[in-house]
Amino acid sequence: MLRHHLWLRLAFVLLALLTPLSLAKARERVDVALVLAVDVSRSMSYDELRIQRRGYAAAISSAEVVRAIELGAHGKIALMMFEWANDNHVRVIVDWTLIDEQADAVDFADKVLRDESFSQRRTSISGAIKHASEMLEEVPFEADRYVIDISGDGPNNHGAPVTLARDAAVENGITINGLPLMTTGGPGSQFNIPDLDVYYRRCVTGGPASFVIPVTDWAQFPDAVRRKLILEIGGFAPLEPLVQRAQFTFEEPYDCLVGEKIWRRLREQFYWDP
């Protein structure tokens, strides 16, 4: 009887030692864990929010993007999408999803289209990066690369300085790519800056092979998202002339607090805090 108990205890010890290894092996390997962080600040109109939703859905389910996934070393990616505005507003649209075939991509796109966007005040790119980094820490897959794909139509004006969030993410091995929306006609033009693409390149993006694809017309949006996803899935360094690489250069210093300064100036001028 004593020998039986000893063997039983030994079996429990071996099970306890082997369980973490078994769990680690159970986590599927993917080529990239990719977070789509989508701006819904009030500077964007309802029509622009709808165009944005349809553009992401069309790009994700496109044959070109699915083909890029299939050509990866593992032939699969982990994808999730959330909307952001101020430092306290984050809303998950589609949680972590494994995509390795057309049906998965179409299902993800359908979920994107079934939901509605609701704009919120202020713009906290730093908050979006922080939340995306936290989501990447919780991804239920083992990824070769970790990427944040962030879109927006204005500079950071709420929460921590954007460079602090960017640097923290990059130090953790995350690449941040940017899709600055340099369109006109939205309700918040007073918060816009003419060189938003430069702002994104100098202040927002970072990490290995990071890049920026500016959008100057909403008609370009679906194609820009599709090209951006293909580059991110493949881990390629961009070569297209419309793509700006986010790399260190000996340029003049850039004011990455320009958004916060615009907000303070308008607040003092009009005495409001929407």
pLDDT digits (tens, 9 = 90+) for 19-54: 443 444 457 999 999 999 999 887 777 888 888 899
* 165 phi, psi to nearest 5 deg: -65, -40
Higher pLDDT, 43 or 70: 70
Compute, in degrees rounded to 10, the torsion defined by CA atoms 56, 233, 212, 255: 100
pTM of this structure? 0.82
Dump pLDDT digits (tens) for 233-257: 988 766 555 565 555 555 678 889 8
- What is the pLDDT, as a whole number, of residue 157? 86
Any idea which residue has 């108990």 for tokens? Answer: 5
Helix or strand holding residue 68 (H, E): helix 63-70
pLDDT tens, 88-116?
A: 889 999 999 999 999 999 999 999 999 87
Q: What integer pLDDT is reported at residue 242 of this predicted model?
A: 55
Which of 143, 125, 112 lies closest to 181 in space, CA to CA?
125
Contact of 30 with 144, CB cutoff 8 Å? yes
> What does the pLDDT average to over 209-213?
94
Rounded Cα distance, 251 and 228, in Å = 25
- Please name every residue paired with 145 in a beta bridge, in sequence order, or none if there are none: 32
Torsion of CA 116, 117, 119, 123, to 10 degrees: 160
Tokens of residue 57, six digits: 């859905």
Mean pLDDT over 139-149 rounds to 96
Of the candidate CATH numbers 3.40.1080.10, 3.40.50.410, 1.10.357.10, 3.40.50.300, the domain formed by 28-270 belongs to 3.40.50.410
Beta bridge partners of 269: none
Question: What is the C-alpha separation between 160 and 243, in angstroms, rounded?
Answer: 27
* E-only strand ranges, 61-181: 77-84, 90-99, 142-152, 174-180
